[in-house]
Copies of this chain bind each other. A is one copy, B any other.
Amino acid sequence: MISSILAAGGALDYGQIFTSLGLVLVVAKLAAELCERIRIPAVLGEITAGIVIGPSMLGLVEPSDALRVLAEVGVIILLAEVGLEMNLNELRRVGRASMLVAIIGVVLPMSSGVIAGKAFGESLNASLFLGAALAATSVGITARVFGDLKALGSTEARIVLGAAVADDVFGLIILTVVTRVVEQGSIDAVGLISTIALAVGFLVIAGAIGLLLVPKIFAFVGAKAASPATIGVLAAAVTFGFSAAASGAKLAPIIGAFVAGTALGRTQQHHTIARDFSILGSIFIPIFFMQIGIDTDVTKFFSTHVLLVAGVLTVIAIAGKVLAAAGARGTKTDKLLIGIGMIPRGEVGLIFATIGVSIGVFNDELYAIVLLMVLLTTIITPPLLRWRIEAGRSALNDVETAEVTEEPEK
């Protein structure tokens, strides 16, 4: 009773909420630490741990709206952090290569995904969603892997990051369009154009406000603010506000969070903001990935159909992105490294699958197929990247033997 201190309605059980929260954080951290030791991305460990403690296995944590709100705060912070990391000027220099890699990397896997879906007997709507889920590179995982391998400063990394951002945005526009098409039951040209106009309009207006106004507001507030915490709080408010605006334009909130991040990255105080968001993220981002696992029914993996379709989609996912590296033609880069860097699908693919489930176009089996494809592309990337980067470095060493090689692992 006393635990429901603030809930005049008595609907919130804080004892249960904080038990779940404490358990989720401890288990997420244990899983992440374990994964980092055996060189698997921490995010995989968090999703797996969510499956283990969730209702599909141990049942220690029940899904709840409280956990979902905190998880959504987590993914908002994640995309804002990715936006913050983007140096827009450096991105612009590799802009053409990134854009080509992104376009090919969306068109190839998506069209192959739709064809594969139809070939496996799925409906056109379900096939469209499968294709869309194959389109978006997970910029969070990509950046994390390059960062872990201390290769973030390379031209390859910049092209990959730029392309990943672009096809995240493409992918989410595609998702919005596909969702509307599915929900309306038929392809409606006016509705489709207005959807695209609304989505692109949001990006243009939010981008303009973000790049022109936000840095000025922060410069003003920075000069006037009495409390040092003001900047971090204002940055969080801008992030949540942009997320709400994206939601108003029928885009995913995370798109707004990403645009907010790029805007915050151009403020004088971007280092302070990045530090504050990194601490917020360390608490809330694992909740998001655990939540995915908690909502996953793992028993659905164990069917020939799921394994077969997920296997084919994974091959398409890998081949489509590796071939997309051809878009970087004319730059002095390792094309295969760029292609490998584009492979991970991560959270955006899962978001697509979750939306597919929520509007009824995906059943649990298709969700399981996408989840397995995401797991496989995420697992395969770090060892491949490591092999390619080390191979490149030793080739460089053969040419310039005097140069001290940078240690590839910390």
Q: Is the Cβ of B238 less than 8 Å from the Cβ of A22?
A: yes
CB 8 Å contact bits of A226-252 with B (1 = contact, 0 = none): 110110111011111101100110111
Minimum C-beta distance from A225 to chain B (A)? 6
**Minimal Cβ-Cβ distance residue in B for A66:** B69
Q: How large is the interface on A (under 10, 10 to 19, 20 to 34, 35 or more residues)?
A: 35 or more
Given A19-B244, A26-B237, are A1 and B279 neighbors across the interface (CB < 8 Å)?
no
Q: Is the Cβ of B70 less than 8 Å from the Cβ of A69?
A: yes
**Minimal Cβ-Cβ distance residue in B for A8:** B358
Q: Is the Cβ of A29 less than 8 Å from the Cβ of B230?
A: yes
CB 8 Å contact bits of A38-70 with B (1 = contact, 0 = none): 000010000000000000000000000110111
A334: Cβ under 8 A from any B Cβ: no
A336: Cβ under 8 A from any B Cβ: no
Specify which chain B residues have a CB less than 8 angstroms from the CB of A72 in the assembled complex.
Answer: 5-6, 12, 14, 17
Q: Is the Cβ of B354 less than 8 Å from the Cβ of A6?
A: yes
A90: Cβ under 8 A from any B Cβ: no
Specify which chain B residues have a CB less than 8 angstroms from the CB of A263 in the assembled complex.
Answer: none
Minimum C-beta distance from A106 to chain B (A)? 18
Q: Is the Cβ of B14 less than 8 Å from the Cβ of A253?
A: yes
CA A70 to CA B26, docked complex, whole Å: 20
Q: Which of B19, B237, B252 contacts A241 (CB 8 A)?
A: B19
A36: Cβ under 8 A from any B Cβ: yes
Minimum C-beta distance from A68 to chain B (A)? 5
A383: Cβ under 8 A from any B Cβ: no
- Would you list 13 pairs from A and B whose C-beta atoms are within 8 A, ordered by A residue? A2-B176, A4-B358, A8-B354, A12-B65, A12-B72, A14-B72, A14-B247, A15-B247, A17-B72, A18-B76, A26-B241, A32-B227, A276-B279
Known pairs A12-B65, A279-B279, A280-B283; list 6 more (Cβ under 8 Å).
Answer: A1-B358, A12-B69, A19-B240, A25-B237, A37-B226, A69-B70
